[in-house]
Structure formats: C-alpha cells, structure tokens
Amino acid sequence: MKKIFKGGFLRDNPEKAMHLYYGICLGIWLIYNLVTSSSPGLPLIILAGGNLIYVTILKKKEET
C-alpha cells in the first residue's frame, strides 16, 4: 500500500495506472450522469486529458 501512495507503483506500471485512472473516471462519469442527467461532456474531457498524459508517460518510458 505504501508503494501506491509514494507514486512508484504508478510510475513503474503505466498500464496499471491507466486502468486505475479509467476506473476512477468511469465512476465519476456514472455519478455525474446519475446526478445531473445531462450530457457527459466534462468526464469525456477528463478522459481525453488522461489519454494525453498516458501517451506522454509511454513516450518517456520508451526513451529510457
């Protein structure tokens, strides 16, 4: 558990980090839709931003 909070776990395993990120985002998206019953624009923007972060992490990992 300590490794997750220090950030080493997520930094060393970008695939697991993305699974965790998408799980959190999908949870936010479901709650957002249940509460507001409106368009899912905001959570989709969050997911798109996460994709950019993920691609950046993978590029940095490939360089090293």
Long-range contacts of 54-60 (CB under 8 A, 24+ apart): 54/14, 54/17, 54/18, 54/21, 57/14, 57/17, 58/14
Report pTM. Answer: 0.44
The mean per-residue pLDDT over the stretch 37-51 comes to: 69
The confidence score (pLDDT) of residue 64 equals 63
The confidence score (pLDDT) of residue 38 equals 63
Residue 52: domain span: 2-63
Q: How far apart are CA 21 and CA 4, in angstroms?
A: 13
Residue 6 has pLDDT above 70, yes or no: no
Q: How many domains does the chain have?
A: 1
Q: Which of 16, 20, 28, 21 is nearest to 49 (CA)?
A: 21
Identify the DSSP state of 38.
Answer: S
Q: Which of 44, 9, 13, 48 is nearest to 30 (CA)?
A: 44
